[in-house]
Structure 1
């Protein structure tokens, strides 16, 4: 993670410091931590040295500035679904938050502080690392809060435990399987893969494309992400990997990319072109599998800009399939 996701270095440094400050605060453990840090540097150092020698320090600095840090970022915890991403009832998230409340009521602040720290230091990646303290809080709540209730109630302990497990475990399992299934549907269709093969065979190797899919959440835009690999062409709006580039502000880039996906006229399109640069081609995905990361089963759900481009005197259609349209400038 430290090698491929530079922002994880922030977690790797700050969380051990937090653990030391809350749980240890001794010279001995501090020296042990420094020894571990030195070992990490020995392992990761050659990679960092190679990157810096070839590209300078700017890619690393750029990546470290994409975390969307803000004092108010901790308020994202109000929507616990951001962490657990459960498709229906957020059972795991609710249990985790109840665990946080339970720990605070017991004046045990370590896990709550860890969860808040994760969101303060690196909000953009916090939904992944945040599962660790949330899971710990869930375990504490189940063992120290729920189980004693069954033991003290009229329900026999064994029966209470069986009821809890027989309801909770199947629900969580089914929810997880369903979520995995829905993720598996978010892929580039066969027709669109064929379109990308056409692009690879019939456009110049140095061509730049502006991709419009109607999916305003870049984390779920499979077409935009797979396009560069499958076509060996440049997508001016690809987000993943943009962290390493310093030519544009990362958060501004996300906003501009999202605006492009909702363009309905040439004025909006031209604003996007001014920001991203003039493309050689405009690629429209007609049947994006998702909309705001939710499955979309619409047929021929053409982007609003498609009819505008078809009737424009500035663009000419060079390719059309059931799942995609491609335009070039006249």
Structure 2
């Protein structure tokens, strides 16, 4: 799955069409001519273009392999979207809790340890909760007066804090100058981080400056302690 605003995503259909043209006009005819010389077959002279295209045994085998690959690729792409690029039910419940139990002017720092442009939790959090997410990139490329590349670098930096301690968050905050009231952590599943199953190292160090106000198997929300 490609980043949704990248060139490779949009050039893929063009490459697929060019590959199909190459198969039809170059590769399959070459295979057909080679087999026709040794095993004449009426299908080679058929008026039906599909019969002519798949006249030889080699082209049938290659087409079958390609067809299987296309079906498998489509299935895996759909599976990946469902598992990784769609907000899950437990995450939606966390969003609903935030909307119902936090002030409307609250600012949240979302820690998901994901690539920012393909992170569904960060992307959908502001729209569903109606709360400010200071580390959500989607939509920021259209905001006047912001250096998008610098913003992306900052978001990547803060996501790396998932595998570190609160010192990382504090250093990032001092560097960027941003403020936030809550830390929303999307915890990994057990097969993502075997060393820390079901949690992130960052969680273990938040208790000194934050208090936990929401907890599920996949979501942890922390509120900054009052000075």
TM-score bracket for this pair, using the shorter chain length:
0.7 to 0.9
* Larger radius of gyration between Structure 1 and Structure 2: 2
Find the residue that maps to 2:6 and give its secondary structure.
Answer: helix
Offset, 1:288: 6.3
Residue number among 183, 191, 195 corresponding to 2:90 in the alignment: 191
Residue number among 100, 108, 111 corresponding to 1:201 in the alignment: 100
Query: 1:309 aligned to 2:190?
Result: no
Structure 1, gaps ≥5 residues long: 1-80, 84-123, 290-294
Q: RMSD across aligned C-alpha pairs, in angstroms?
A: 2.8
> What's the TM-score, normalizing by structure 2?
0.78
Kindly report which structure 2 residues correspond to 1:226-245, keeping only aligned pairs within 5 A, or say none: 226-245=124-143
CA contact (8 A) 1:300 1:323 kept: no
The 1-side partners of 2:94 and 2:109 are apart by 15
| Higher helix proportion | 1
Aligned length: 203
Kindly report which structure 2 residues correspond to 1:148-297, keeping only aligned pairs within 5 A, or say none: 148-154=29-35, 157-186=55-84, 187-215=86-114, 217-263=115-161, 264-274=164-174, 275=176, 277-287=178-188, 296=192
CA contact (8 A) 1:199 1:231 kept: yes
CA contact (8 A) 1:214 1:288 kept: no
- Taking structure 1 as reference, are residues 179 and 133 closer, same or farther at Cα in structure 2, changes over 3 Å only? closer
Structure 2, gaps ≥5 residues long: 40-54
Offset, 1:127: 1.4
> What's the TM-score, normalizing by structure 1?
0.55
Find the residue that maps to 2:108 and give its secondary structure.
Answer: strand
- Taking structure 1 as reference, are residues 162 and 276 closer, same or farther at Cα in structure 2, changes over 3 Å only? farther
The 2-side partners of 1:304 and 1:176 are apart by 36
